[in-house]
Amino acid sequence: MPERESSGSAEYVNGMEYEGHSVNELHYKEEKIKGRKPEVTEFQWITSMKITERNAEKMAGRM
């Protein structure tokens, strides 16, 4: 059975206004190689927790 390879990237924005509230947005894109085909999955969250470079992937559950 071939080994699965994956990689991902996190992007985030803090301090966006949404319905009168300040919120933070996290977007995570993950690419897994299955056989010869890449499979891309994207996730997006809105949170009140501050997102940083250090915690972005952890918040996405990818660490």
Give the range of the structural domain holding residue 36, as residue numbers without chain letter: 5-51
Q: In sequence order, which residues have a C-beta less than 8 Å from that of residue 28 and are 6 or more positions away? A: 8, 9, 10, 11, 42, 43, 44, 56, 57, 60, 62
pLDDT tens digits, 2-61? 445 778 899 999 999 999 999 999 999 999 988 888 899 999 999 999 999 999 989 988
Report if residue 9 sits inside a domain: yes
Q: Which residue blocks in the chain are alpha helix, DSSP H?
A: 56-59
Number of domains comprising the chain: 1
Could you tell me if residue 17 is inside a domain? Answer: yes
| Residue 63 is assigned to a structural domain of this protein | no
> pTM to 2 decimals?
0.77
Query: What contacts 8, CB < 8 A, 6 or more positions away?
Result: 28, 29, 30, 31, 57, 60, 62
